[in-house]
A and B are shown apart, each in its own frame.
Chain A
Amino acid sequence: MEDIKIVGSGSINGGSYKNIRVAGSAKMTGSIQVEQLNVAGACVFIENADVQSGHISGSCRFQKNLKGNELHCSGTITVMGETEAETLHLSGKGQFSQDINVDHLQVKTKDSTFQNIYGDIVFIESKHGLTKVRDIEATSIEVINVVGNRLSGDEVIVKGNSEFTVIEYRKKLEIGKTVRVEQIIHL
């Protein structure tokens, strides 16, 4: 497997790579499998991407599915397809058009949009404004300033100006004073 480094702008065909480093802008035109991805700039993945370890400090757009082991994004990430990862850390802005299945999701964001999130440990904090989700199902959930339909988990903590239609919990529930919830169900 080869290494690829793009400084400036360039495009990469699909294939398996050990390292891809982008400092500038790059377009991946085919399905990509990469052990280590580093993006400082802008990157577009036209087909599915399988990223073992990824660090994104610019912006990345995945037109189809994103699969990864450990993904860190401190810029902007957009995923049009489904996302699967062991760990996903986002400290920028995320736009996820389809479901996320993740073991450990940590999000500290200003304004992000998620669909359904399924996983083990989910933490989402919206620093300014409200982050939108549909449903979150996870063993442990903590959300701050998040708006959505349903939270379901063993341990659920909801703070800030969060709003949910339904919260389901099995073992522990903590709800802040300013949180609005229509229905709480103890499973």
Chain B
Amino acid sequence: MISKKDLLIEMNISYGQLYRWKREGLIPNEWFNKQAVSTGQETYFKRELIIPRIQKILELKDMYQLDQLRAFLNPDLEKRPFNMREIVLIEDLDPFILKMFAMRKPILYLYDIILIYIFSLCKEDISFEDYKETDFSAINCLTYTCYIVESDRKYILFAKDELIMDHHLKIIKQIRFEDVANMIAKNL
């Protein structure tokens, strides 16, 4: 956890900026945890959430308008269904893989789109045909990274944390879910 005061110093931002971003929906209300201290109340944040979020806001705030930035960082992106009109606007999705996904799942969510994107991007290495019966429902957070590894043939791996692999395996592609989600949000 990090206190609000330490956060302001560490990120070199002001109260005004922090509360403006909260008001604008760039930082969720639930991230502000009030706790009793000797001087009354102090607000604490989960460090692993707030620091990357503020870094992202500072990096993007001059490049995008508020609505775009909000969509970019929108935490609800993970919960809402995507309609086909939105999906076709996302660049680099292979229509064949999209069709196969859509045939087995009538409603597609963010993680489905991320998988479609990854299989589209890696179609030279991995055939989605080999995975069309695989249940990907356990893959449900943005901390995942997809690895395409090679030994006698190429495999696809999904891992949440750092991956320790046999040295015979060679990573030939590495795709962070968060990067794909950001790209998708930008296309919406």
Contacts and interface: CB of A to CB of B under 8 A. Distances in A.
Interface stretch (A2-10, A25-33, A40-48, A146-154): A146-154
Interface in B20-65: 20, 22-23, 39-41
Contacts of A166: 39-40
Contacts of A138: 15-16, 19
B39 A118 contact: no
Interface in B84-134: none
B163 interface: no
Given A154-B15, A166-B40, A120 B20 contact: yes
A91 B39 CA distance: 30
A103 B15 contact: no
Contacts of B14: 120, 139, 154
A101 interface: yes
A161 to B, nearest CB: 21
Contacts of A140: 16
Contact of B15 (A152, A165, A183): A152
B15 A120 contact: yes
A84 interface: yes
Interface in A10-44: none
Q: Give the interface SS of chain A, mostly helix, strand, loop or mixed.
A: strand
Contact of B19 (A119, A149, A150, A165): A119
A121 B16 CA distance: 7
B160 interface: no
Q: Which of B17, B19, B22, B40 has the most CB of A within 10 A?
A: B19
Nearest to B16: A120
B23 A84 contact: yes
Given A84-B23, A120-B20, A187-B9, A137 B15 contact: yes
A165 B40 contact: yes
Interface string A97-117: 000010100000000000000
A101 B16 CA distance: 9
Given A101-B23, A187-B9, A119 B15 contact: yes
Contact of A183 (B9, B23, B39, B41): B39
A135 interface: yes
Given A84-B23, A120-B20, 20 more contacts: A101-B19, A103-B20, A118-B15, A118-B19, A118-B22, A119-B16, A120-B15, A120-B17, A134-B40, A135-B41, A137-B19, A138-B15, A138-B16, A139-B15, A152-B5, A154-B15, A165-B40, A166-B39, A166-B40, A185-B39
